[in-house]
Amino acid sequence: MSDIEFEKRRIEIQKSKTDHVSEYQGRTIVLPCIAELFLSRLAVSLLKDTFDINGRVFPMTKGAFKQSWADVRKREFTAVLSSQSTAAHINIPVPIAIIK
């Protein structure tokens, strides 16, 4: 079995940062459609020997990734604050103040 199963749209992660608290090593996650598209393009470029070693596999700069991640964290935090029952349900402590 390979790390990526395109037919089943799955990625097998061989080692996970949470393995030490899990019964099993690694994990299987869903292969998002957009990731499948980019990986397919990568495979074709490797087969045709047109791969640009200086190019990006996923078209996102480091700065863009950091900004996207910060936006996800901000939205999640806002969602938790908007629902006390949700915060209690998923056991996330709500900070008293936000320092910008």
Question: What are 38-94's pLDDT values in tens digits?
Answer: 888 888 998 999 988 887 777 778 788 788 878 877 777 666 555 555 545 555 444
Together in a domain, 37 and 72:
no
Q: Give the number of domains in the chain.
A: 2
Q: Which amino acid is at 11?
A: I
Residues in the chain: 100
- Look at 5-19, 27-41, 67-81 and tell me which has the smallest mean pLDDT: 67-81
Together in a domain, 22 and 44:
yes
Rounded-to-10 torsion of CA 29, 93, 74, 14:
-20
What does the pLDDT read at residue 48? 93
Pairing of strands 4-5, 27-30: unpaired
Domain of residue 96: give its range. 60-100
Together in a domain, 70 and 95:
yes
CA–CA separation, 14 vs 42, rounded Å? 21
Together in a domain, 2 and 49:
yes
